[in-house]
């Protein structure tokens, strides 16, 4: 009975993480379409939420990587506590970076949290540092934003050459129409890569509970549907916050740049999802936005924002791992039953409420920095 309660807590925590992932990333998915006036804000947010949902059903390669290739967990309550510790590590790091306005990656936080908690629970043998962490997480994490930067830059240079002698008015309208496609592809790509990470973690918890055998690994349909729903709802709810703040926060790009950036970001994320790389969608979209801005003129890039992204990238994996490991130890201190996760969940809820209250006393939250803020 105790392990069943822990499974319910872990699944609920994973879906909350998925919701916050959608909420956190809406800015990057819709800001480009809104800032170039390709779509009205309400339409852009609803469209992105629907395609986030659809995208989650496209592939399961990333879910398989997260569940099988990063860490190894044996069926036991210790394994469930480790998955719980990893999730809390990711949520806590996301909250901390939200509080300080750092543009961190939810994906790296999730993987960092899992690695830290499993390392503390089972030791270094249970973490696939070489093929898993380096081969499938860290190298793609470096390649993807750089590739998106290059593709975004090349795409805008080629586009400007093709349409150079056309009248600006109809051309801008044409690129806004194109952004309906490219923005849709970006939302689809985001749903595909990010929802699958939660599917992978829930499946890992089901393996730890003995509900699924490692030999006959599969992601149950209810896991796919619930993860897709959580990220789509998060995107929709997060979008309303963006609509309220966009007037002062989002910098204008031209429609061709928006189209090129969305096209570059979505193709990199979709290609990586196809081979099972769990990318940071935030960093990839930011790379594409910076690339399309830098190709126009280097001074268009706010290099300070780009630098913050790099700092957050370096900090996220070790910081989330540390918090994940400590959370596992705290939950384990109460035994292997449900008491530890219940106490930790109560602490997280209290901590979140405290951060929200402190932030509201200090004025508007810095919130998430949308990718479009990386250019001016």
Footprint on this chain of another protein (rule: CB under 8 A): 58-61, 130-131, 134-136, 139-140, 143-144, 147-148, 150-152, 154-156, 158-159, 162-163, 166-167, 170-171, 174-175, 178, 181, 185, 192, 259-260, 263-264, 267-268, 270-277
Cβ proximity to another protein, 60 vs 96, nearer residue: 60
Contact residues for 61 (Cβ-Cβ < 8 A; gap 6+): 196, 273, 274, 275, 276
Q: How far is the CB of 329 from another protein (least distance, A)?
A: 29
For residues 59 and 290, give the distance between their C-alpha atoms in angstroms, rounded to a whole number. Answer: 28
Q: How far is CA 15 from CA 225, 228, 247, in A?
A: 11, 9, 31
| Secondary structure of residue 4 in the 3-state scheme | helix
Q: How far is the CB of 130 from another protein (least distance, A)?
A: 4
Cβ proximity to another protein, 28 vs 267, nearer residue: 267
Cβ proximity to another protein, 149 vs 328, nearer residue: 149
Q: Which residue has tokens 């809820």?
A: 349
Alpha helices in the chain (DSSP H): 2-35, 41-55, 61-64, 77-100, 106-122, 139-162, 168-208, 221-249, 255-274, 281-296, 303-332, 339-362
**Which letter does DSSP use for residue 137 in this model?**
I
Q: How far is the CB of 129 from another protein (least distance, A)?
A: 9
For residues 223 and 202, give the distance between their C-alpha atoms in angstroms, rounded to a whole number. Answer: 7
Q: How far is the CB of 92 from another protein (least distance, A)?
A: 29
Q: Token pair for residue 81? A: 């506590």
Contact residues for 1 (Cβ-Cβ < 8 A; gap 6+): none
Q: Token pair for residue 135? A: 């081969």
Q: How far is CA 94 from CA 21, 84, 101, 215, 367, in A?
A: 9, 15, 10, 33, 11
Cβ proximity to another protein, 102 vs 268, nearer residue: 268
Cβ proximity to another protein, 82 vs 264, nearer residue: 264
Q: How far is the CB of 136 from another protein (least distance, A)?
A: 7
**Please, what is the angle between helix 168-208 and helix 41-55, to 10°?**
40
For residues 170 and 5, give the distance between their C-alpha atoms in angstroms, rounded to a whole number. Answer: 59
Q: How far is the CB of 198 from another protein (least distance, A)?
A: 18
Cβ proximity to another protein, 35 vs 192, nearer residue: 192
Q: How far is the CB of 296 from another protein (least distance, A)?
A: 14
Cβ proximity to another protein, 12 vs 181, nearer residue: 181
For residues 15 and 227, give the distance between their C-alpha atoms in angstroms, rounded to a whole number. Answer: 6
Give the Cβ contact number of residue 348 at 10 Å. Answer: 18
Give the Cβ contact number of residue 375 at 10 Å. Answer: 25
Cβ proximity to another protein, 238 vs 258, nearer residue: 258
Cβ proximity to another protein, 80 vs 272, nearer residue: 272
Q: How far is the CB of 353 from another protein (least distance, A)?
A: 40
Q: How far is the CB of 167 from another protein (least distance, A)?
A: 7
Phi, psi of 269 (to 5 degrees): -65, -45
């Amino acid at each position: 009975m105790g392990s069943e309660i822990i499974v319910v807590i872990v699944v609920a925590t994973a879906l909350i993480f998925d919701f916050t992932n959608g909420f956190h990333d809406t800015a990057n998915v819709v800001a480009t379409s809104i800032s170039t006036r390709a779509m009205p804000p309400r339409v852009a947010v609803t469209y992105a939420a629907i395609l986030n949902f659809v995208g989650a059903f496209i592939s399961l390669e990333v879910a398989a990587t997260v569940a099988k290739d990063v860490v190894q967990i044996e069926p036991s309550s210790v394994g469930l506590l480790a998955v719980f510790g990893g999730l809390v590590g990711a949520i806590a790091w996301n909250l901390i970076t939200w509080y300080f306005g750092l543009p961190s990656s939810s994906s790296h936080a999730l993987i960092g949290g899992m690695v830290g908690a499993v390392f503390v629970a089972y030791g270094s043998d249970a973490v696939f540092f070489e093929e898993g962490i380096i081969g499938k997480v860290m190298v793609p994490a470096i390649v993807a934003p750089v590739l998106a930067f290059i593709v975004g830059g090349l795409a805008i240079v080629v586009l400007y050459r093709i349409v150079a002698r056309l009248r600006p008015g109809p051309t801008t309208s044409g690129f806004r129409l194109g952004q309906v496609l490219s923005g849709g592809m970006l939302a689809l790509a985001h749903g595909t890569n990010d929802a699958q990470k939660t599917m992978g973690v829930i499946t890992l918890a089901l393996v730890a509970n003995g509900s699924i055998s490692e030999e006959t690994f599969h992601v149950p349909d209810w896991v796919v549907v619930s993860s897709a729903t959580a990220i789509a709802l998060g995107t929709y709810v997060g979008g309303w916050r963006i609509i309220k703040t966009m007037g002062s926060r989002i910098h204008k790009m031209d429609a061709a740049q928006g189209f090129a950036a969305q096209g570059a970001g979505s193709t990199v994320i979709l290609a990586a999802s196809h081979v099972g790389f769990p990318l940071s969608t935030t960093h990839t979209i930011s790379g594409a936005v910076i690339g399309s801005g830098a190709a126009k003129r280097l001074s268009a890039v706010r290099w300070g924002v780009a630098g913050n992204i790099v700092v957050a990238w370096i900090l996220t994996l070790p910081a989330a791992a540390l918090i994940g490991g400590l959370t596992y130890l705290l939950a384990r201190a109460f035994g292997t039953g449900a008491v530890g996760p219940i106490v930790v969940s109560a602490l997280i809820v209290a901590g979140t409420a405290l951060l929200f209250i402190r932030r509201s006393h200090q004025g508007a939250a810095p919130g998430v920095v949308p990718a479009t803020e990386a250019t001016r």
